[in-house]
Structure 1
Amino acid sequence: MQTQKLSLKHYLIIGSMLFGMFFGAGNLIFPIHLGQLAGAHWLTAGLGFLLTGTLLPLLGIIAISVTRSSGIYELARPIGKRYATLFMILTCATLGPLFATPRTATTPFQIGIAGHVSASQAPLYLGIYSLIFFGITYWASRKPSGIMDAIGKLLNPAFLILLALIFGFAFIKPLGTAHTAKVTAAYQGGAFLNGFLQGYNTMDALAALLFGIVVVNAIRGLGQHNPTAIAKTAAKSSLLSITLEALIYLGLIWIGATSLTVFKLSADGGLAFSQIAKAFLGISGEIILAVMATLTCLTTAVGLSSSFSEALHAKFPRIAYRTWNRLACGASFLIANIGLDQIIAWSTPMLMFLYPLAITLIMLSIASPLFRHDPIVYRWTTAFTLIPAGLDALNAAPAVISRQTWVQQLLALDDKYLPFAKYGMDWIAPALIGLAIGLSVTAIRWAITAHTVKTDQE
């Protein structure tokens, strides 16, 4: 099968496309807020954040490359077809019209517009803004073949120029010193783990699994058709985008920590970033930030809508890509008007449930050649991860759920018997137990098979 050799320019274009799809609403506001929470421990918290915010998405792309999967369904299929379908639907819904995509509109609105209108006028302005935002999103994502031009060549450079301007002022004349910034109680002894969990909010590990099909199609469009060549190109391109993203994250976290010299701890990263931009550039800083946030969130919205539509169209081909895209953009518009705070509050429990399952799936997929892709290992590990992941979701749910008596009783047992439960990491020990059982069962099956073959030969 003939394969077109790609140049550095092609790798940069694909990497730029991936960066644009990954770097969105949460990627802009959560690092700033993390820096304010961690204070002097900003670097420790930042390293934890990078694991789930950059390294895990990179491993997700590599997992798709190693297994030669075309998307999230194929990656999860060794666990079972029904599980793969359910996991794909939940991930698509989370990244699509339920949480991530609506957030791409509410975040830039919160940063650039909400502070300049009254509370009574905000719903009307949000409605107008989100209607225009998702109208553009639908236009840019209506044809999958146009995603590279819409993201990689146009919007990314504009965003990076605006971000570089903010960074330039921050580093030339910082607001304060990070190493003397106040550290909140949760980050005094658990900065790394808290930073690790904050990385969930970016949703990038889930996005990496969903974006796989977009990456594969984009690479094919450049003339590569050999599966091995596609896998290598995807891994190299994603490394470029993730490295740039990691540098930006550390810069944003540091800026958040230095801002505590001038500002108090903010309720969210959007407000904090708006204050910082205004401190450096006055009203023009707020305008730059509003434009920057809109651009970066728009690129992510296009990527999410395209990936959502392609993944579900591939699984349910009777429904056209354009129909799925209309659903994604229309539902995202409606949910965006609920407001950013409500979206974040209800997305957190879903992320606490899905992320442990995504992490184990990614690790198993990368290591699968070592155990010959045996589904038994996948199934045992996932089975032991499901229950603690569900408990973490209940613990992170809004008070209307988490404060229920039966929920509190379950969480008390969880905290008593499973290590790391108070950190939201209670799934690690069960997952390792499930992995050990799966590998043991596989080893026994191999031994029996080898013995049978040997006996037959004798």
Structure 2
Amino acid sequence: MSNQKLTFKHYLIIGSMLFGMFFGAGNLIFPIHLGQLAGSHWLTAGWGFLLTGTLLPLLGIIAISITRSTGIYDLARPIGKHYATAFMILTCATLGPLFATPRTATTPFQIGIASHVSTSQAPLYLFIYSLIFFSITYWASRKPTGIVDMIGKLLNPAFLILLAVIFGMAFTHPLGIAKMTATTTAYQQHAFLNGFLQGYNTMDALAALLFGIAVVTVIRGLGQHNPTAIAKTAAKSSLLSISLEALIYLGLIWLGATSLTHFKLTVDGGIAFSQIAKAFFGVPGEIMLAIMATLTCLTTAVGLASSFSEALHAKFPKISYRTWNRLSCGASFLIANIGLDQIIAWSTPMLMFLYPLAITLIVLSILSPLFHRNTGVYRWTTGFTLIPALFDALGSAPAIVTRQGWAQHLLAWDAKTLPMAKLGMDWVVPALIGLAIGLGGYLIQRTLAARSYKTNQD
């Protein structure tokens, strides 16, 4: 197949598109909140956050490139078609109308508007704001080929300029000294692991599996058709966007830590960011932050709606892309109106369930050339990861669930039986055991096949 040679400008355009898709609601509020929680241990927690917030999404794009998969279903297919379908639907729903997409509207509303209206008026203002927000999202995502122009050339530069202004003021006139701020109890001993788990909230590793579809489509549109060339282009472009995202994350985490000198620990990063902007620039600072949050969250909403619609249209072609897009934007609008706190509360258990499965799938996909995508390796590893992931989901569920007697008994058994259960990492050891069993079975199978071949030759 002939391939168009791409220039550095092309890589920048694709990288900018990916950055705009990845950097959204959670990418603004969770690093700030992490900085406040970690205090003087902000850098240690930050490294953990970067693993799940930047490195894992990069590995997700690379996994799709290495396996030459067309999307989430294709990537998970070696485990089984039913599992692949279920995993794809759960991931798409989480990134789409259940949690991530509604959050793109509620976060900028919480940052820029909620603090200026009364509690009784907030639902009406949220309704109006989210209606306008998702109307624009639907209009921009009607044709996925317009994603590059919309996100890469217009909204990203505006967002980066606004963010640079805030960072410039924070670095030249810091609110305090990060290494001298208080650290919450959880982060005094396990700052790295807690930062790692906080990175789940960005949902970027899941998004990488979904956005891979859009990346391949855009690269083909630029004239590259050879699978190897597409894989290399995707990896290079992803590295550009992820590197920029990592620098911004560290800046936001540091900013959250320094804010503790003037402000108390807040319930979420949105409130903290609004306080910081007002401290530096007054009311104009809050307005600037509201604009920045709306722009970055809008780019993510467009990317999520487009990728959600493309993925499900590809799997269920009888339902058109436009119908899936209408469903995504309409349902996101409705769920957004339950409020940010409720969305975060109910999204956490889903993320604690999906992330271990996504991490093992990404690692297996990258290592798959070593065992020729053997289904046994995939199935053993995933099977041993599945049950602990369910326990993690149960342990992070809202109190209405965890207070139930049956839930407390299961969680008590989990804490006594599986290592690192109290840290939300009880899936690690079982996953390694499953991987070892799968690889052992694969090597035995290969050895027996080689002996059989040699016997037949003799």
Q: Cα deviations across residues 208-258 of structure 1 (Å, max 9, x unaligned)? A: 000000000010111111110000000000000000000000000000000
Instruction: Tell me how far apart the structure 2 counterparts of residues 248 and 221 of structure 1 sit (CA, whole Å).
Output: 30
The offset of 1:403, in angstroms, is 1.2
Counterparts of 1:188-199 in structure 2 under 5 Å?
A: 188-199=188-199
Q: Cα deviations across residues 289-324 of structure 1 (Å, max 9, x unaligned)? A: 000000000000000000000000000000000000
Instruction: Tell me how far apart the structure 2 counterparts of residues 294 and 425 of structure 1 sit (CA, whole Å).
Output: 34
Counterparts of 1:30-179 in structure 2 under 5 Å?
A: 30-179=30-179
Corresponding residue for residue 372 of structure 1: 372
Instruction: Tell me how far apart the structure 1 counterparts of residues 221 and 47 of structure 2 sit (CA, whole Å).
Output: 36
Instruction: Provide TM-score, normalisation by structure 1.
Output: 1.00
The offset of 1:445, in angstroms, is 0.6
Q: Cα deviations across residues 183-216 of structure 1 (Å, max 9, x unaligned)? A: 0000000000000000000000000000000000
Corresponding residue for residue 418 of structure 2: 418
Q: Cα deviations across residues 365-397 of structure 1 (Å, max 9, x unaligned)? A: 000001111111000000000000000000000
The offset of 1:402, in angstroms, is 1.1
Given residue 435 of structure 2, which amino acid in structure 1 is its aligned partner? L
Asked if 1:265 is matched to 2:274, the reply is no
Given residue 339 of structure 2, which amino acid in structure 1 is its aligned partner? G
Q: What SS does structure 2 have at the residue aligned with 1:183?
A: coil
Instruction: Tell me how far apart the structure 2 counterparts of residues 271 and 204 of structure 1 sit (CA, whole Å).
Output: 22
Given residue 51 of structure 1, which amino acid in structure 2 is its aligned partner? L
Counterparts of 1:268-287 in structure 2 under 5 Å?
A: 268-287=268-287
Given residue 100 of structure 2, which amino acid in structure 1 is its aligned partner? A
Q: Cα deviations across residues 306-364 of structure 1 (Å, max 9, x unaligned)? A: 00000000000000000000000000000000000000000000000000000000000
Q: Cα deviations across residues 128-174 of structure 1 (Å, max 9, x unaligned)? A: 00000000000000001111111111110000000000000000000
Instruction: Tell me how far apart the structure 1 counterparts of residues 224 and 141 of structure 2 sit (CA, whole Å).
Output: 23
**For structure 2, which runs of at least 5 residues remain unmatched after alignment?**
none
Asked if 1:2 is matched to 2:2, the reply is yes
Corresponding residue for residue 445 of structure 2: 445
Misfit runs of 4+, over 3 Å: none
Corresponding residue for residue 454 of structure 1: 454
Instruction: Tell me how far apart the structure 2 counterparts of residues 394 and 111 of structure 1 sit (CA, whole Å).
Output: 30
The offset of 1:20, in angstroms, is 0.2
Corresponding residue for residue 432 of structure 2: 432
Corresponding residue for residue 289 of structure 2: 289
Corresponding residue for residue 302 of structure 2: 302
Instruction: Tell me how far apart the structure 2 counterparts of residues 115 and 175 of structure 1 sit (CA, whole Å).
Output: 22
Given residue 385 of structure 2, which amino acid in structure 1 is its aligned partner? T
Instruction: Tell me how far apart the structure 2 counterparts of residues 74 and 99 of structure 1 sit (CA, whole Å).
Output: 23
Asked if 1:357 is matched to 2:340, the reply is no
The offset of 1:80, in angstroms, is 0.3
The offset of 1:16, in angstroms, is 0.2
Identical amino acids, percent of aligned pairs: 81
Q: What SS does structure 1 have at the residue aligned with 2:120?
A: coil
Q: What SS does structure 2 have at the residue aligned with 1:263?
A: coil
Instruction: Tell me how far apart the structure 2 counterparts of residues 144 and 278 of structure 1 sit (CA, whole Å).
Output: 37
Counterparts of 1:318-357 in structure 2 under 5 Å?
A: 318-357=318-357
Instruction: Tell me how far apart the structure 1 counterparts of residues 279 and 245 of structure 2 sit (CA, whole Å).
Output: 24
What is the number of equivalent residue pairs in this alignment?
458
Instruction: Tell me how far apart the structure 2 counterparts of residues 375 and 211 of structure 1 sit (CA, whole Å).
Output: 25
Q: Cα deviations across residues 20-58 of structure 1 (Å, max 9, x unaligned)? A: 000000000000000000000000000000000000000
Corresponding residue for residue 23 of structure 2: 23
The offset of 1:417, in angstroms, is 1.0
Instruction: Tell me how far apart the structure 2 counterparts of residues 145 and 250 of structure 1 sit (CA, whole Å).
Output: 32
Asked if 1:401 is matched to 2:401, the reply is yes
Instruction: Tell me how far apart the structure 2 counterparts of residues 259 and 105 of structure 1 sit (CA, whole Å).
Output: 25
The more displaced of 398-407 and 297-306 is: 398-407
Instruction: Tell me how far apart the structure 2 counterparts of residues 83 and 153 of structure 1 sit (CA, whole Å).
Output: 38
Instruction: Tell me how far apart the structure 1 counterparts of residues 428 and 193 of structure 2 sit (CA, whole Å).
Output: 13
Instruction: Tell me how far apart the structure 2 counterparts of residues 145 and 416 of structure 1 sit (CA, whole Å).
Output: 52
Q: What SS does structure 2 have at the residue aligned with 1:261?
A: coil
Q: Cα deviations across residues 257-279 of structure 1 (Å, max 9, x unaligned)? A: 00000001111100000000000
Instruction: Tell me how far apart the structure 2 counterparts of residues 174 and 373 of structure 1 sit (CA, whole Å).
Output: 51
Query: What's the C-alpha RMSD, in Å, of the aligned pairs?
Result: 0.4
Instruction: Tell me how far apart the structure 2 counterparts of residues 321 and 292 of structure 1 sit (CA, whole Å).
Output: 29
Instruction: Tell me how far apart the structure 2 counterparts of residues 2 and 112 of structure 1 sit (CA, whole Å).
Output: 49
Given residue 274 of structure 1, which amino acid in structure 2 is its aligned partner? S
Q: What SS does structure 2 have at the residue aligned with 1:3?
A: coil
The offset of 1:70, in angstroms, is 1.0
Q: Cα deviations across residues 110-145 of structure 1 (Å, max 9, x unaligned)? A: 000000000110000000000000000000000011
Corresponding residue for residue 225 of structure 1: 225
Q: What SS does structure 2 have at the residue aligned with 1:319?
A: coil
Instruction: Tell me how far apart the structure 1 counterparts of residues 263 and 118 of structure 2 sit (CA, whole Å).
Output: 23
Given residue 37 of structure 2, which amino acid in structure 1 is its aligned partner? L
